Amino acid sequence: MAGVYCESVGLLRSNSVLAAVALGSNLGDRRGFLNAAVAGLREVPGTTVEAVSTFIETAPVGDVSQGPFLNGAAVLRTSCSARELLEALHAIERAQGRSRVIERRWGPRTLDLDLLTHGDLVSTEPELTIPHPRLHERRFVLEPLAEIAPGLMVPGRGVVRELLAALGPG
């Protein structure tokens, strides 16, 4: 992928980790944007897309009037650091017309890619919070993730299938 360089790709493959990414879109050709995101993930150096969930339609979150989202999840095996992978996700978003600078928080967007987990990393840096701070509260993230990685451990939170069950009936 042009403009994305993962310095850590030169490390031994045994240093790769599983990472989970949430995908969402509620503007324009939502399915097209999500498919373009998956294609972009396949181009990230040192990264293999292990699984992609079914895309599901969900209601938007927040107080902004907007159309429904199409949401999904992907599990990757990557040699990129969490910061490098996050930068790659933002580059993929920009390639699909997203501008995090001008958009309203929780507003409509062409593409939203959230880094949910990166191995067993826990980070509370302002620009790199992993696991995603609201992952365990969001059915629209947990349902697609449970489809492809029900046993995935979310550091400090638990196993995906149990987190989804804790939300109760949908």
DSSP-assigned beta bridge partners for residue 159: 153
Secondary structure in 3-state letters for 71-92: EEEEEEEECCCHHHHHHHHHHH
Q: Could you tell me which of 155, 122, 157, 153 has the C-alpha nearest to residue 136?
A: 157
Assess whether 109 carries a catalytic annotation.
yes
In 3D space, the residue among 51, 54, 47, 50 whose CA is nearest the CA of residue 31 turns out to be 54
Active-site residue, 114 included: yes
112 is catalytic: yes
Active-site annotation holder among 30, 83, 109, 138 = 109
Q: Determine which one of 114, 139, 157, 161 is catalytic.
A: 114
> Is 105 a known active-site residue?
no
69-96: string of b/e by CB count within 10 Å (b at 16+)? bbbbbbbbebbbbbbbbbbbbebbbebb
Active site amino acids: 98, 109, 112, 114
